[in-house]
Structure 1
Amino acid sequence: MATLIVSYPAAKGARFDRDYYLATHLPLARAAWSGFGLQSAEVLFPAAGPTPLVAMAILRFRAQADIDAALSSPGTAKVLGDVANFTDIAPTIFRADDE
């Protein structure tokens, strides 16, 4: 199992459309990457109050090589291009060391 984490840092005045993210963006990512070993996608939203993040997505793939293949696939451009539709926050993308 390999994990790709996408986090959205909190910033005063930042825009993040949670409904769009869940209804449109997450299904777009699933569709783009399911053929490249994406096994699950989970989104966490912090509880109310001060927090360093607005949201975090945990994307689980079969292996690190699958993450490489997904990120270099043609569908990734569409996924990344959709970010501006729900937020003005630049996401932080990193891998967990779980292999």
Structure 2
Amino acid sequence: MAGILLVSYPVTEGARFDRAYYTDTHMPLVKEKWGPLGLTDALALFPDDDAPAAVAVAVLTFTDGAVRDAAMSAPVAAEVFGDVPNFTTISPAAQRLTG
């Protein structure tokens, strides 16, 4: 079964979130760094409703849960996580799922 990482950026009053940077720079970085480690798909989703719980949600799909966990612990993960302050002041919430 696929290992999924769901990363959400909760609505936070006064927070900064640069959607253009997120889609144009951060998500390609995620694919570049984790693609060789088993990332098979990466989606950036944005809410349609007027009172969203999150400003953005990423759905990252890996070949399986063990591969996902290994990618998150790999040295390149520091580059992915280290890029977050470049587009937001929100602390992301991550959830590991199997599907």
Q: CA RMSD in A?
A: 0.9
Match of 2:58 in 1: 57
Query: For the residues of structure 2 that align with 1:48 and 1:64, how far apart are their CA atoms?
Result: 31
* 1:33 equivalent in structure 2: 34
Aligned residue runs from structure 1 range 2-17, under 5 A: 2-17=3-18
Q: TM-score, normalised by structure 1?
A: 0.94
**1:66 maps to amino acid:** V
Structure 1 residues 22-62: Cα deviation after superposition (integer angstroms, max 9, x where no partner):
11100111111011110000111001511110000000111
CA drift of 1:97 comes to 3.2
Q: Does 1:74 align with 2:75?
A: yes
Q: Is residue 8–residue 54 contact of structure 2 (8 Å, CA) maintained in 1? A: yes
Question: Quick one: percent identity of the two aligned structures?
Answer: 47
TM-score (norm 2): 0.94
2:22 alignment counterpart: 21
Bigger CA drift: 44-53 or 7-16? 44-53
Q: Tell me, which stretches of 5 or more residues in structure 2 are unaligned?
A: none
Q: Which consecutive residues of structure 1, in runs of 5 or more, have no partner in the other structure?
A: none
The whole-number CA distance in structure 2 between the counterparts of 1:93 and 1:4 is 7
User: How many residue pairs are counted as aligned between the two chains?
Assistant: 98
Paired position in structure 2 for 1:96: 97
How many angstroms apart in 1 are the aligned matches of 2:25 and 2:10?
20
SS in 2 for 1:15: coil
Counterpart secondary structure, 2:51:
coil
Structure 1 segments of 4+ aligned residues over 4 angstroms from their partners: none
